[in-house]
Structure 1
Amino acid sequence: MSLFLEFSLVGLASGGIYVLAALSFVIVFKATNVFNFATGEMMMLGAYLFLLFDIQLGLGWGAGLLAALVGSALLAIIAERIVLRPLIGRPHIVLVMVTFGLASVFRGFAGLIWGPNVRQLTELLPRTPLFLGNILIPGKLAWGFLAAGLISGAFIVYYRFSRAGTAIRATSTDQVTAESLGINIRMVFAMSWGFAGVLAAASGIIAGSVNGVTPQLGLVALNVLAVVMLAGMTSVGGVVVAGLFIGWVETIVGAYLGAAWQSFIPYLIVLLVMIVKPTGLFGEQRVERI
């Protein structure tokens, strides 16, 4: 029983990182109706920017962390402004394919600059394991979960109670009405991408601090995709529950059934849920008039 509890806590801790990246997915989709398949690569670039500013440029971890988050937000805003904004009004599939293209560009750029090998980041997270009775949780994973939880909680509170969050929610509900009420829709689009860049970079830095960073770090987003689909692509609060659940399922299945099962069981669960509830567990039913 203690082994099951240990695996469960490790899985929940892993799910915390998924929550951050899933919030990056959801905030862009809510504001712009664009499903951003470049989220994983935004995670990866955030980790590399931290490596650049902290170690390669010698700014130190504090200034390096701040510079990486700001740089990630600016890169996301630039991508929205130059690549995606000119495509407003085009079919959604066009925008989706453009985000696929962005992901490939980001991955290729990282490979050219930093190479394919694993790079280790500054150890922001303590290695000392956490003991809960007889249960051991790796220190980096435990502190990574705490950091991800604090960032996710702060963002959700800001999203719920700030004027910026209100503008994003209004735009998500009805862009025409929001604009008629004086909300700058284009500013909301840029702001949502900026938030997405920060959230993705934070999750990438935490993941990179645990396992190192390579250009393939963005593949973590494949697991995050299961989180977003399970929660429903419009639910900010729902991704918290779904992220923790997917992290737990992956770890339990991997521990007891092996890695071969671990790679597809979360998607099987998502598939079964969406057959019954296509909008996900917490998603909104949207009606579009044409």
Structure 2
Amino acid sequence: MGFFLETLFGGLMVGMLYSLVALGFVLIFKASGVFNFAQGAMVLFAALAMARFSEWIPAWTGVQSKLVANVAAFLIAGAIMFVVAWVVERLVLRHLVNQEGATLLMATLGIAYFLEGMGQTLFGNSIYKIDVGMPKDPVMAFESTFQGGILINQEDLIAALIAAALVALLSLFFQKTSTGRALRAVADDHQAAQSIGIPLGRIWVIVWCVAGVVALVAGMIWGSKLGVQFSLSTVALRALPVVILGGLTSVPGAIIGGLIIGVGEKLSEVYIGPHVGGGIEIWFAYVLALLFLLVRPQGLFGEKIIDRV
């Protein structure tokens, strides 16, 4: 029982990190109705900015405190992501209002390549580290309850708690604030939202800023775990099955989808993998997403589209 719970907890913690990346996809889709292929590049760009500024600030200012340097780097990286959001709206999205979804999709692809190239130009292309002080040594818990206890990775636990807190705040933002309701209105119908006085440009800037902050937190966590390198942009591919499973329009769906996939990957690899040669964790999420596309393409919590003729 202890080993099962250990595997279950590991899956839940990884699932929360998947949910955090998937949340960026959901935010942009809810505001613009397009799948944002630039999300992975945003995670990479934000992580590069924080990693490099956490190195540069002590050299520039002489500050020796790692905490102060990390906080300052986080704030600067956040400001940079806000500037990126403003530039994207001003130079790209503003000129594509009411265009076809395919046009917006190609625009996000262009933004992705631009951010990857600009990140390399500004911050370099080496492997960098983000050290925010999260403990990396695992600990034993519930030793008095289960024989041998349960091994818990402290870094994964703290990262999962940070992701859960951010997801909860964004859920409240969408449900309880006037700006959140305006975002949902824009997602439903751009023209109708404009007709009742909702400023589309301002809403898109806000949602890209929020998505940028989400990308920064995701980049900080994944960069702390894996190191900041250009393969980090592919972490978004791990979140694709999550948004398919949970639904592209649902913030709770991103959470539930991430937890299901995280737990499913771990349990299938541990209990089924040894009997089939292993490797299930690599393809489990994509097979599950394919099954959902065949049976319920809108996902568990997505809105079912009904066309009336």
CA distance in 2, matches of 1:259, 1:199: 33
2:189 to 174, 187, 198: 174
| Higher mean C-alpha deviation, range 275-284 or range 69-78 | 69-78
CA distance in 2, matches of 1:177, 1:94: 20
CA distance in 2, matches of 1:184, 1:288: 27
Contact 1:46 1:200 survives alignment (8 Å): yes
Aligned to 2:141: 132
CA distance in 2, matches of 1:64, 1:215: 19
Q: Secondary structure at the match of 1:172?
A: helix
Aligned to 2:146: none
Deviations 1:40-73 (A, max 9, x none): 1111111111112222233611121122122223
Contact 2:244 2:299 survives alignment (8 Å): yes
Cα root mean square deviation, aligned:
2.0
Aligned to 2:98: 89
Residues 55-204 of structure 1 aligned to structure 2 (within 5 Å): 55-58=55-58, 60-133=69-142, 134-204=149-219
1:260 to 2:279 alignment:
yes
| Higher mean C-alpha deviation, range 222-231 or range 132-141 | 132-141
Q: Secondary structure at the match of 2:220?
A: helix
1:19 to 2:19 alignment:
yes
2:225 to 184, 190, 210: 210
Aligned to 1:52: 52
CA distance in 2, matches of 1:130, 1:267: 32
1:219 to 2:234 alignment:
yes
1:286 to 2:298 alignment:
no
Could you tell me which runs of 5 or more consecutive residues in structure 2 were left unpaired when the two chains were aligned.
59-67, 143-148
Amino acid at match of 2:207: S
TM-score after normalising by structure 1 = 0.92
1:34 to 2:43 alignment:
no
CA drift of 1:78 comes to: 1.4
Contact 1:69 1:202 survives alignment (8 Å): no
Aligned to 2:4: 4
Alpha carbons of structure 1 residues 181 and 245: separation in structure 2 relative to 1, 3 Å: same
Contact 2:19 2:258 survives alignment (8 Å): yes
Question: How many residue pairs are counted as aligned between the two chains?
Answer: 290
Contact 1:107 1:216 survives alignment (8 Å): no
Amino acid at match of 1:5: L
Deviations 1:68-107 (A, max 9, x none): 1222232133123212332233322222122222222222
Q: Secondary structure at the match of 2:92?
A: helix
CA drift of 1:248 comes to: 1.6
Alpha carbons of structure 1 residues 244 and 73: separation in structure 2 relative to 1, 3 Å: farther
TM-score after normalising by structure 2 = 0.87
CA distance in 1, matches of 2:308, 2:93: 24
CA distance in 2, matches of 1:130, 1:156: 31
Aligned to 1:275: 294
CA drift of 1:288 comes to: 5.6
Contact 1:130 1:142 survives alignment (8 Å): no
